[in-house]
Amino acid sequence: MLASVALDSGVFVDPVGRELLFHGTNAIVKGPPWYPEWKSFSRDISMAEEDFVLMEELGMNVLRLGVMWPGVEPLEGHYNETYLDQIEEIVNLGSQHGIYTLLDMHQDGLSEFFCGEGLPTWAVRHTDYFTADKHGYPFPFDSPMGEGDFYVEEDLPTKPTIPTRASCSTKNQGPGWHEPTMASANAYEAFYQNVDGMLDAWANMWAHVVERFEGNDSVLGVELINEPFAGDLYRNPLLMVPRPNPGNADRINLQPAYEIASEKIREVDKERLVFFDGVTWGDLGSGFSEAPGGQEYANKTVLGFHYYAPPQLDPSKGHSALQFKAQQRISKKLGAGTFLTETSQPDLTKEDSDGFSLLGGIGDAADATLSSWAGYEWKSFCREGAGGSTESQMGEWGACKTGYSRNFNADRPEDDFMIANGRTFARAVAGKKESMYYDVDTKNFTLIYRVNEVSKMHETEIFASPLIYPEGLSVHVEGAGAEGVWEEETGKVSVRVGGDAREGEKVTVTLGRK
């Protein structure tokens, strides 16, 4: 079991007061069984022992794991404990390799009705000012798609129609997994407005999950919902305008929804870190005026954000730090922490052989702002199976839709992936962090921190991968009588200050290739 993680003035800290940073990855399964295979390794769908060994080799210490609402609550009011058993197995397996888990209720496009995933089909509603089909469900698109474009899910009691796989692939209606269409935007709005109590059901689901994992310190926190869309932009276009517009979706729709979830969660666990996200295009910073739970729980909340270009600016041109700083300004006002919970790979600037765009500069911006991040994603976590299907959107395992990563070409990722994701960083600082810099080209690394009451009792821990320093690592430490030692086998650099170190004294750690 890992030690618990808390927030101190927006900074992640361990029980002894060391300041923490996280580097990691995502594992999101967007269709049944809604979790990665953990019993055996594969190149496409596993988070097994071998996967966590590889993550440990890269110095990664966090996994953002999809805890999917349809998996938790396939039928309204009926929680699937067997599903949560599988999630717990993955959490505990990661813990054995020093990896925390962030439980993420992932969604893209809200539902299968809109060729996405997220809400169980029973939880999708419409508001009373929108025309619905005879089953009481919204049409998946703004206009009928023609005969033969829908199929019926046999296990759904009301037999609603859902777009076929072919329909989803050939009739894409713009960006954002159909979110800007009238039907989809309306369904988001209905969720936020708690039509038929569906927002309450979501909050109750989260309370159940949080209670299930109470006391499990390997769980870093829970992320309430991934990339929430604004809501019904047709009824209120100002929802699409990010801050400083006071009518933005973060404040009007998301903040009240998060408050309901927070209230339910705090009934069962007052300590769990709650991650909350704004709309994805809030490049000037999220528009919240208060963290979930208000000031009482602000320092147990984390403002999550994503970085993709677009909607964010091209990070290869040096713009990415602006997004980090904007989110940090907001989180500081709220009293919360920040975390980049999803982004492209942190360093690579070329396109790989599969044409997957790997944007550079994000890792540098994270270091410059002392931010934690999790890349998207470890592998695809979907498998089509022989022959595939022309009807169901689901695959043999998961669903290959709404964005997924490449798979391993062998039993480990390619060297460029390993080197990019294994970048040197300070995982735990026994002192007050001031700056951190890693040169992607030379692999030189510098950490500067100030001595405090924690420094004399505990060591600072930096990860420096043997993959990046194959000929050895040069360790140079200045200030406070500090000394550093590299364990080549684990990549761990341990730094301890001298017994005469003074409060506020500066320590500079410089690492480089021999």
What is each CA distance from 80 to 92, 226, 481, in whole angstroms? 19, 21, 55
User: CA-CA distance, 133 to 18, in Å (whole number)?
Assistant: 56
| Catalytic pick among 19, 179, 227, 459 | 227
User: CA-CA distance, 401 to 28, in Å (whole number)?
Assistant: 11
Cα-based angle 419, 439, 341 (whole degrees, multiple of 5): 60
SS3 call for 46 = strand
User: CA-CA distance, 490 to 485, in Å (whole number)?
Assistant: 12
Q: Would you call 514 exposed, middle or buried from its count of C-beta atoms within 10 A (0-12, 13-18, 19+)?
A: exposed
User: CA-CA distance, 84 to 90, in Å (whole number)?
Assistant: 10
SS3 call for 416 = helix
Residues 6+ apart with CB under 8 A from 167: 115, 145, 149, 150
DSSP per-residue letters across 57-73: HTT--EEEEE--HHHH-
Q: Which helix (H) or strand (E) holds 365?
A: helix 362-368
Q: Which of 17, 427, 19, 1 is nearest to 218 (CA)?
A: 1
Query: Rounded to the nearest 5°, which phi and psi values hold at 93?
Result: -65, -45
Provide the phi-psi class of 66: left if phi over 0, else alpha when psi is between -120 and 50, else beta.
beta
User: CA-CA distance, 462 to 486, in Å (whole number)?
Assistant: 9
Q: Which of 339, 180, 330, 338 is nearest to 244 (CA)?
A: 330
Dihedral sign computed on CA atoms, order 206, 208, 214, 216: negative
What is each CA distance from 377 to 102, 136, 345, 374, 509, in whole angstroms? 14, 36, 8, 8, 31
The identity of residue 384, as a single letter, is E
Residue entry with tokens 């000929």: 471
3-class secondary structure per residue, 298-343: HHHEEEEEEECCCCCCCHHHCCHHHHHHHHHHHHHHHCCEEEEEEE
Do the beta carbons of residue 71 and residue 381 sit within 8 Å?
A: no
Residue 227: active-site member: yes
The identity of residue 434, as a single letter, is E
Do the beta carbons of residue 454 and residue 448 sit within 8 Å?
A: no
Residue entry with tokens 């003074």: 502
Query: Rounded to the nearest 5°, which phi and psi values hold at 152?
Result: -110, 130
Q: Which of 68, 112, 59, 143 is nearest to 375 (CA)?
A: 59
Catalogue the active-site residues: 227
